[in-house]
Structure 1
Amino acid sequence: MSRLLERLKTDILVADGAMGTLLYANGLDNCYEAYNLTHPEKVLAIHKAYIEAGADVIQTNTYAAKRHRLEGYGYGDKIKEINQAGVEIARQAAGEDTFVLGTVGALRGLKQCELSLDEIIKETLEQVGYLLETKEIDGLLFETYYDEEEIIEVLKAVRPLTDLPIITNISIHEAGITENGRPLVEIFGKLVMLGADVVGLNCHLGPYHMIQSLKQVPLFAQSYLSVYPNASLLSFVDDNGSGQYGFSQNADYFGKSAELLVAEGARLIGGCCGTTPDHIRAVKRAVKGLKPVSRKFVTPMVEEVELIKAVKQSETIVDKVKRKVTIIAELDPPKTLDIKKFTEGVKALDEAGVSAITLADNSLAKTRICNVSIASLLKNEISTPFLLHLSCRDHNMIGLQSRLLGMDVLGFHQVLAITGDPSKIGDFPGATSVYDATSFKLLELIKQLNKGIGYSGASIKKETTFTAAAAFNPNVKNLSRCGRLIERKIAAGADCFITQPIFNSEIIENLAKLTRDYETPFFVGIMPITSYNNAIFLHNEVPGIQLSDNFLAKLEAVKDDKEKCQQLALEESKQLIDHALKFFNGIYLITPFMRYDLTVELVEYIHQKVEQSHQIIP
């Protein structure tokens, strides 16, 4: 048995974190694998930083060092040199005490790959051959395989070539199921039978969803479990119009999550996108003294974990909100064609008496039924108007104007202009995020259409009558500095603002101070928590969401009692509403996980509060 497997038999090993994230942070943003030749000192420094942080295992900077990928950057003739330099640099950093894995990434899944499966196998074997030729690696790591056919055929081809340990990490979009729709345990079982020494997960999802996924996976007699989560969900920040991707800085949470991963059987724990030496250092601290579990209970997935959304708004509503309390409520369009519960939710919100029902546009880059289509289907069954989100991610300028003209024809005149969550975090991470425009440019287009002029300057023969809402995230470190952002969106055409959910009364007060000089209405986002795990996930893995330590502590105290936990969470939402109504006349209720009953209860609560203060809600 190899030295690596001997260690995994008795110990929890800590792996390294992201390479590309740190290279990008250092200003390198071309072909990361080519930096083995052009910037070896940068790659070496990152390896050493992870080892200093406590990594027992590091991987070579060779993820995409296949011929097909390298040719795209003009390095097709350097494939051997790049792969073997990657091994040499990693071994130089590792010495004799740290294990080195030769890393091989998938070709299918991230972007459309025109290669046939036979061609993919041929290119993989070429890369593996160069890695093995060095005789300096302690194992092979195949990672970020979304397509199970690819990883199965790769493993079949590579296993006969070496006795070194083989680690197969697949990537999934939804907790517990593969891209092909099969239970995670099924693909793991196949890989174990084909000779994988370690099976696991990496990329796309953060710690929370990976913990939930491993709950369904048993311990295998012939193989061990590995897990390399992302730091969090990827966020797209566009405060200054330039647009940047980023991850939550949550090293402490990452470390605490490692303890739960160990409890689910993981023996090799590292990090993927967005993780840094700080994350690995936290993992090392957390697992110190822990031993691998020898038995576990397998539990089926009880709750399908979706995320949240965080922006929404309305506008015929603008005049109303200036003079009375106005409630708008969000309900996500369904992911499937079973729309029964969604329809029930829409009708319940309509009967509850909200002023608008907002429908997102594939929020978090998760594919859902088109919001315009489902609004068209239901608009004659309710009296409440729809406020439709429009994302720049999925449409170029042609599509944005076309969608807006179509909405006008169908009678939908309230729109929330958003830049949109990046495709990388959603169902199809290889899909292109268009971003022809940002929310600023989209707001300007909406106002231009209201003047009867299209983007090209040509007349559209009629003026549209859109009210344009803009999103605002108050969950930032320096909220007082966001005045310029608000002013820019107002100048671009924002008639009102809808905030991401707020879970802290102090943030509401700071928002009130920031916005007191603006006449443009603000709707304060309130989203009820559904469970303790839901709260922990939102707080640590969803960019822009912050829960108070006091509230988290209260939830933790009753986390095993679902009824008490839900009651406590609703009381917290009601207290936040009470606080928001001291400063704002607009409340934006965000429905979690199709739990429209929670939203209805909060709507009724607001009605009661308003009646008590002799106000009237339309």
Structure 2
Amino acid sequence: MGFLQDLQNRILIADGAMGTLLYSYGVDFCFEELNLLQPDRITQIHETYIKAGADVIQTNTYGANYIKLGRYGLEDQVKDINTAAVRLAKKAAKENTYVLGTFGGIRGIKKSAATIDEIKRSFREQLYSILMEGVDGLLLETFYDFDEIKTVLEIARKETDLPIISQVSIHEVAVLQDGTPLRIALKELEDLGADVVGLNCRLGPHHMTQALEEVPLPKKAFLSAYPNASLPDYVDGRLIYESDAEYFGECAVNLRNQGVRLIGGCCGTTPKHIKAVSKRLKGLAPVTHKDVKIKENKNIITVTAKPTQPHLHEIVTKERSVIVELDTPKTLNTTAFIEGAKALKEVGIDALTMADNSLASPRISNMAMAAIVKNEVKIRPLVHITCRDRNLIGLQSHLMGLDALGIDQVLAVTGDPTKVGDFPGATSVYDLSSFELISLIKQFNEGITFSGKPLQKKTSFSVAAAFNPNVRHLDKAVKRLEKKIEHGADYFISQPIFNEQQFLHVYEETKHITKPIYIGIMPIVSSQNAEFLHNEVPGIKLTDVIRRRMADCGTDREKAAIEGIAIAKSLIDMAFDLFKGIYLITPFMRYEISVELVQYLKTKNSKNLLTRN
């Protein structure tokens, strides 16, 4: 009798975690390489699970693809590792044991981990290696990204008639991380040709059972569930799963009651857990009828945020606009910062932008200072958000905090690496890329968190993205702009330009871009400042004329400031007719310079309007 025929008549018990056991033995490197280095150990684990009652075992190939093996320098051993894995599993299998070739998801929480084309190539190579050795079916597991599992499922279905088990992983009960309800996702996988659809990893048995309560019995496929043993604990630098095997076995009955016919275990599960499952399910027939009640109003958005004034990207589309950056203080003395904000408010800037620990050096939280200037100075804040300092949890918490404070103008940036800052040994997080951060913020605007959970309110963030025109190949920088637009960017803020001819070049290369650009201008305050920017800041080059003009000022601070302002005004003159948005970067808290330049801009704009009239 075959695998699918068996599922027609009874519940099959699958094995538990491979990595958990290897980790407990002290293995802390590529688990899949052990197919070649320690084959007896892998065979023994398979045999132990079979002895515990597993009808189905999976090959030790979860991460045995080109992309994941490449992290260990093993990308050229894809065929050897997968071939060995199948042979070891088949060697351990009994006459009535089914062997599934296993394929793990690549993207996890990060779409940037690999492109769809890279995933296709990697999957095909692993798939062919496993199919050549002969297995009873294919197991696609731990896929958080729905597009990824649909892509590989379609490839697998075209290449083989073997049974395919397709399992997604979710953060929140009954919903994928893109907001797709679980019941709809599993139905779509069934329609794409999956013979078994279900869940594995991330959730323990309790929440996995809850997730399946809203899932009807498939018409053509069967349901599967491979829950984690429990929530993990972090002890002495190691992740530990402390779960009672008997409890896990009891929960398997609940999964069976939800119509699951293939039940195994994921992270933290051991042969003890599988033995308990086998014991509790022995003699129980599969469920053939299930009443499903969809919980109403689960994803209803109860509130939609409404901006109190037009967004910056709306303002600059219609008229000239100026925003000014003022770095938050490195000390707890905020006097000069508040004075600067008030002075800039008086000259009528459209927003005060605040970097997020610029140059990777700690400053007063820009969210805190944004709240202060918004409420006390009555000036609009534009808050920069880096991917460097916060993990995915912190980024979402930060966004919710900004919304709660009524701050809706943000700039999504990667962030300077910690090596350039005061604490070069600090960790750079980078859970998300700037592209993914833009997408996350836009997802918040739809009222959905990264995990797909409803926020019960739609945020109304206007999302700026960074533009670096100071690169050797400007066309590649423009391609990044186009990609950021695809991810949801509303407008762009550029790094400073110090070359008048470069304005023309940037204009010509970006005039097809549909989103507005605030062009960056940063006044120079001394020859030392000019030389530092020119020689030490990546991507910035000053003209010889500008450097000579600043050098001629010598050490005269006042003369240098006057000359720096004159240079900035000449740059403004060039940018003024090409770009509606001007972004002034205040040097060293010398806000009086920015005030003078804003006044110059306002005067130019007034003269321009008079000329037109």
The CA deviation at 1:78 is 1.1
Matched, 1:115 2:114: yes
- Cα separation, 2, equivalents of 1:70 and 1:64: 7
The answer as to 2:292 corresponding to 1:293 is no
Match of 1:205 in 2: 203
For normalisation by structure 1, the TM-score amounts to 0.50
1:252: which partner in 2? 246
Q: How does 1:59-138 map to 2 (within 5 A)?
A: 59-111=58-110, 113-135=112-134, 137-138=135-136
C-alpha displacement of 1:298: 0.8
The separation in 2 between residues aligned to 1:373 and 1:152, in whole angstroms, is 35
User: Quick one: structure 1 residues 370 and 77, their matched pair in 2 at CA, closer, same or farther if it must change by over 3 Å?
Assistant: closer
Q: How does 1:298-309 map to 2 (within 5 A)?
A: 298-301=292-295
- What is the distance in 2 between the residues matched to 1:24 and 1:226? 25
CA contact (8 A) 2:174 2:181 kept: yes
Question: After superposition, what is the alpha-carbon deviation per residue over 1:439-494, rounded to whole angstroms, capped at 9, x for unaligned?
Answer: xxxxxxxxxxxxxxxxxxxxxxxxxxxxxxxxxxxxxxxxxxxxxxxxxxxxxxxx
Are positions 1:37 and 2:62 aligned together?
no
The match for 1:462 is none
State the distance in 2 between where 1:363 and 1:78 align.
Answer: 33
Q: Is the 8 A contact 2:153 2:192 kept in 1?
A: yes
Query: Contact between 2:139 and 2:164, CA under 8 Å: does it hold in 1?
Result: yes
* Structure 2 CA distance for partners of 1:371 and 1:166, relative to 1, 3 Å: closer
Q: Paired residues, what number?
A: 328
Once the two structures are superposed, the pairs formed by residues 573-612 of structure 1 within 5 Å of their partners are none
Contact 1:367 1:427 in 2 (8 A): no
Q: How does 1:452-601 map to 2 (within 5 A)?
A: none
Deviation at 1:301, TM superposition (A): 4.1
Instruction: Please give the residue correspondences for 1:403-482 in structure 2 after superposition, counting only pairs within 5 Å.
Output: none
Shift in CA distance, 218/86, structure 1 to aligned 2, threshold 3 Å: same
* Per-residue deviation, 1:44: 1.0
> For residues 287 and 83 of structure 1, do their structure 2 counterparts lie closer, same or farther at Cα, with a shift above 3 Å needed?
same
Instruction: Say if 2:178 and 2:451, in contact at 8 Å, map to a contact too.
Output: no
1:224 and 2:222 equivalent?
Answer: yes
Which has the bigger relative contact order, CA under 8 A and spacing at least 6?
A: 1
Counterpart AA for 2:40: E
The answer as to whether partners of 2:142 and 2:200 remain within 8 angstroms in 1 is: yes
CA distance in 1, matches of 2:424, 2:119: 35
- Given the superposition, is the C-alpha separation of residues 182 and 168 from structure 1 closer, same or farther in structure 2, using an over 3 Å criterion? same
Q: 1:196 aligns with which of 194, 197, 207?
A: 194
Indicate whether 1:264 and 2:258 are aligned.
yes
Letter in 2 for 1:250: D
Match of 2:18 in 1: 19
2:310 counterpart of 1:282: no
Question: Once the 2 structures are TM-superposed, how far is the Cα of residue 369 of structure 1 from its aligned partner?
Answer: 3.0
Taking structure 1 as reference, are residues 28 and 153 closer, same or farther at Cα in structure 2, changes over 3 Å only? same
Q: Deviations over 1:520-573 (max 9, x none)?
A: xxxxxxxxxxxxxxxxxxxxxxxxxxxxxxxxxxxxxxxxxxxxxxxxxxxxxx
Partner deviation per Cα, 1:579-599 (whole Å, 9 max, x = no partner):
xxxxxxxxxxxxxxxxxxxxx
**Residue of structure 1 equivalent to 2:153:** 155
SS of the residue aligned with 2:141?
Answer: strand
Partner residue of 1:603? none
Q: Structure 1 22/428 Cα, relative in aligned 2: closer, same or farther at 3 Å?
A: farther
Deviation at 1:34, TM superposition (A): 0.5
Kindly state the Cα deviation for residue 114 of structure 1 after the two structures are TM-superposed: 4.0
Question: 2:397 — aligned with what?
Answer: 369
Aligned equivalents of 1:4, 1:165: Cα separation in 2: 8
> Structure 1 counterpart of 2:17, which letter?
A
Letter in 2 for 1:74: G
2:507 corresponds in structure 1 to none
Q: What is the letter of the counterpart of residue 65 of structure 1? A: A
1-structure distance, mates of 2:405, 2:398: 11
**Residues 247, 166 of structure 1: alpha-carbon distance in 2 compared, 3 angstrom cutoff:** same
CA contact (8 A) 1:212 1:301 kept: no
Q: Are positions 1:53 and 2:52 aligned together?
A: yes
Q: CA deviation at 1:153?
A: 1.3
After superposition, the Cα gap between the structure-2 partners of 1:122 and 1:371, relative to the gap in structure 1 and judged at 3 Å, is closer
SS of 2:147's equivalent in the other structure is: helix
Secondary structure of the corresponding residue to residue 72 of structure 1: helix
* Counterpart check, 1:180 vs 2:178: yes
1:170 & 1:376 partners in 2: Cα distance?
33
User: Partner of 2:445 in structure 1?
Assistant: none
Letter in 2 for 1:106: G
Q: Contact (CA 8 Å) 1:16, 1:55: kept in 2 or not?
A: yes
Q: Deviations along 1:46-80, whole A, 9 cap, x unmatched?
A: 11111111000000000010111112212122111
Structure 2 unaligned blocks of 5 or more: 300-389, 407-420, 428-448, 453-613
Is 2:106–2:113's contact at 8 Å kept on the other side of the alignment? no
Q: CA deviation at 1:119?
A: 1.7
Q: List per-residue Cα deviations over 1:261-301 (Å, max 9, x = no partner).
A: 00100000000000011110110011111111111011224
Q: Is the 8 A contact 2:165 2:196 kept in 1?
A: yes
What is the DSSP-based 3-state SS (H/G/I as helix, E as strand, rest coil) of the residue aligned with 2:397?
coil
Taking the aligned partners of 1:218 and 1:124, their CA distance within structure 2 comes to: 30
- Alignment counterpart, residue 141 of structure 1, candidates 102, 117, 139: 139
Please list, as runs of the form range in 1=range in 2, the aligned pairs for 1:372-411 lying within 5 A after superposition: 373=401
Q: Mark the CA change 1:111 to 1:38 in structure 2 (over 3 Å): closer, same or farther.
A: farther
Equivalent residue letter for 2:48: A
Task: Kindly provide the amino acid, as one letter, of the partner of residue 299 in structure 1.
Answer: K
Q: Is the 8 A contact 1:366 1:427 kept in 2?
A: no
Offset from partner CA, 1:6-62 (integer Å, 9 cap, x none): 100000000000000100111111000000000111111111111111000000000
SS in 2 for 1:91: helix
SS at match of 2:100: strand
Q: 2: distance between equivalents of 1:398 and 1:304?
A: 45
Aligned twin of 1:420:
none
Deviation at 1:116, TM superposition (A): 1.6
SS in 1 for 2:142: strand
Q: Could you list the per-position Cα deviations for residues 223-247 of structure 1 after superposition, in whole angstroms to 9, with x for gaps in the alignment?
A: 000000001112212xxxx422111
Q: For the residues of structure 1 that align with 2:270 and 2:11, how far apart are their CA atoms?
A: 19
Percentage of pairs with the same residue? 47
Computed over aligned residues only, the root mean square deviation of the Cα atoms, in angstroms, reads 3.2
Q: How many Å apart are 1:374 and its aligned residue?
A: 7.4
Change (3 A) 1:364 1:74: closer
SS at match of 1:144: strand
Instruction: Please state whether the residue corresponding to 1:44 is helix, strand or coil.
Output: helix
- Cα 1:26–1:113 change in 2 (3 A) is farther
In structure 1, the gaps of 5 or more residues are: 306-361, 379-395, 403-425, 430-618
Distance 1:272 1:366, change over 3 A: farther
Indicate how the Cα distance of structure 1 residues 375 and 108 shifts in structure 2: closer, same or farther if over 3 A, else same.
Answer: closer
Contact 2:63 2:103 in 1 (8 A): yes
The change in CA–CA distance for 1:401 and 1:140 in structure 2 (over 3 A counts) is closer
CA distance in 1, matches of 2:33, 2:123: 17
* Largest Rg, 1 or 2: 2
Distance 1:110 1:52, change over 3 A: farther
Change over 3 Å in CA distance of 1:112–1:151 after alignment to 2: closer
Maintained 8 Å contact 1:365/1:427 = no
Aligned pair in 2 of structure 1 residues 372, 400: CA closer, same or farther (>3 Å)?
farther
Deviation at 1:366, TM superposition (A): 8.4
Q: Which residue of 1 aligns with 2:324?
A: none
Contact between 2:107 and 2:113, CA under 8 Å: does it hold in 1?
Answer: no
Please give the secondary structure, in 1, of the residue aligned with 2:72: coil
CA–CA distance in structure 1, aligned partners of residues 231 and 422 of structure 2: 27
Amino acid at match of 2:266: C
Counterpart-to-counterpart distance in 2, 1:29 and 1:226: 29
